[in-house]
């Protein structure tokens, strides 16, 4: 074997080593999150500064990998073809080319891609910290080529970056779900993380206590009457209205009511009206997002807001506790009763609070009750489809499916609870 062939063999295998280096580096780099890289940097780990530099400019990293890997593969393919031709001779040129293509392709796939990536995905932290300084230097060396490629990419695709951040909320939910399946994340943690992601998209309308469920005080009520209602309901704040419930003039805090009793001229003895003790109401539209509202309530030191519809009519109330429950679930005190909205009975049917939203029922039971802008709750669905106020035990069959709904509890004209029967194949 001549010295020149020996040198070619050395270069040939060196190219495969370089190809494996770039393939493994790419797999390891994208296995490490930006947050993890910042953690390494904060911990002062060797190579962390270079890793953080590359993470802050992923376009530069990606183009460095592409340039280095293509140079290695093209060089390896060229030299490999030359060596095979030398081995077979010029008289078997076609055979030599076929063998060279198959041999080099197989080696590139196995040695230059599969093996290094398999190793990198199992040791991403160690590998990224080791190779990042070298990739940082290479990115500087390839800077002219990277700049030219970047300019060409801008001409073709506009000003969009080559590696745009395509991570969506659904992608994050998939990662959370995967973490739950692997046991890394508990089910309770999964639900809380989902709640955090949905928090900014949730409107006041979905969270508020509706007007028919709101306990209110008329401005003519005396302090003694107000105190009796506070004792019956165990609430700490109640809206105060004047004349009609659409005219809310204030919010009465039980602390203000109790504090007033200790004045020299007791308001209880003189049956004084409680309107003067109420604080100014905080009005908000029902379309406001609860994350924005929470910040406003913190800033204004307000614990209760009055919700108005698009016509300015009173629609309900919302408290800080209502908002926090969207994150952590129901917060019950010693006076609350833990009555679930959806309860499965022994016969496989479901007792459902009529104020439960159609979306929640469909999600919980895996069914498809029709959704419309005309209604939001199961009670609204029933009234819309019946066209009249139902009576107890009146039934409705959902069009296009076999689910049956029966009204089980009424309070005057208001539906309180219903009974939902699923077909046998849908029963959970």
CA distance 15 to 22: 11
* Angle CA 397–401–404, to nearest 5: 30
Domain membership of residue 42 as a residue range: 3-157
In this predicted structure, what is the pLDDT of residue 298?
Answer: 92
Residue 428 lies in a domain: no
Question: Phi and psi for 43 in degrees, rounded to 5?
Answer: -85, 0
- One domain, residues 354 and 233: no
Mean pLDDT of the chain: 82
Residue 426 lies in a domain: no
Q: b or e along 59-92 (b: 16 or more beta carbons within 10 Å of the residue's beta carbon)?
A: ebbbbbbbbbbebbbebbbbbbbebbbeebeeee
- One domain, residues 14 and 140: yes
209: nearest Cα among 242, 241, 239, 169: 239
In this predicted structure, what is the pLDDT of residue 56?
Answer: 81
Residue 273 lies in a domain: yes
Q: Is the pLDDT of residue 265 over 80?
A: no
pLDDT digits (tens, 9 = 90+) for 347-375: 778 888 888 888 888 888 888 888 887 88
In this predicted structure, what is the pLDDT of residue 221?
Answer: 87
CA distance 106 to 347: 62
Question: Phi and psi for 376 in degrees, rounded to 5?
Answer: -125, -30
Q: How many domains does the chain have?
A: 4
- One domain, residues 189 and 223: no
Residue 405 lies in a domain: yes
- One domain, residues 212 and 287: yes
Per-residue pLDDT, averaged over 291-295, amounts to 92
Strand partners, 244: 242
Banded model confidence at residue 206, pLDDT cuts 50, 70, 90: confident
Considering the entire predicted model, what is its pTM? 0.56
């Amino acid at each position: 074997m001549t010295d020149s062939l020996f040198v070619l063999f050395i270069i040939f295998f060196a190219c495969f080593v370089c190809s494996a280096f770039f393939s493994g580096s790419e797999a390891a780099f994208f296995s490490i999150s930006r947050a993890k890289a910042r953690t390494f940097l904060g911990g002062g780990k060797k190579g962390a500064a270079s890793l953080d530099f590359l993470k802050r400019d992923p376009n530069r990293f990606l183009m460095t990998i592409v340039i280095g890997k293509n140079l290695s593969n093209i060089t390896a393919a060229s030299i490999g073809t030359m060596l095979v031709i030398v081995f077979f001779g010029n008289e078997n040129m076609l055979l030599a080319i076929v063998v060279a293509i198959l041999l080099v392709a197989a080696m590139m796939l196995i040695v230059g891609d599969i093996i290094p990536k398999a190793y990198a995905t199992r040791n991403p932290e160690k590998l990224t910290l080791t190779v990042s300084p070298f990739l940082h230097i290479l990115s500087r060396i390839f800077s002219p080529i990277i700049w030219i490629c970047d300019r060409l990419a801008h001409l073709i695709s506009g000003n969009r970056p080559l590696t745009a951040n395509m991570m969506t909320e659904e992608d994050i939910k998939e990662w959370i779900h995967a973490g739950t399946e692997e046991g890394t994340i508990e089910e309770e943690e999964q639900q809380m993380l989902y709640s955090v992601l949905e928090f900014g998209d949730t409107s006041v309308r979905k969270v508020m206590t509706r007007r028919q469920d709101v306990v209110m005080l008329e401005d003519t009520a005396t302090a003694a009457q107000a105190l009796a209602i506070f004792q019956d309901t165990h609430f700490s704040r109640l809206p105060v209205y004047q004349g009609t419930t659409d005219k809310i003039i204030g919010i009465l805090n039980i602390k203000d009511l109790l504090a007033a009793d200790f004045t020299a001229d007791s308001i209880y003895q003189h049956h004084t009206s409680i309107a003067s003790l109420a604080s100014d109401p905080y009005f908000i539209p029902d379309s406001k997002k609860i994350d924005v509202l929470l910040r406003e309530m913190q800033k204004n030191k307000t614990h209760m807001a009055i919700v108005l519809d698009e016509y300015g009519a009173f629609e309900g109330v919302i408290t800080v506790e209502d908002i926090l429950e969207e994150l952590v679930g129901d917060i019950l005190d010693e006076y609350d009763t833990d009555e679930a909205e959806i309860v499965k009975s022994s016969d496989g049917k479901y007792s459902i609070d009529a104020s439960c939203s159609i979306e929640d029922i469909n999600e919980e039971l895996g069914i498809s009750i029709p959704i419309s802008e005309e209604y939001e709750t199961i009670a609204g669905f029933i009234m819309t489809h019946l066209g009249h106020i139902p009576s107890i035990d009146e039934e409705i069959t959902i069009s296009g499916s076999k689910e049956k709904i029966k009204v089980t509890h009424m309070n005057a004209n208001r539906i309180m609870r219903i009974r939902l029967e699923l077909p046998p194949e849908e029963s959970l």
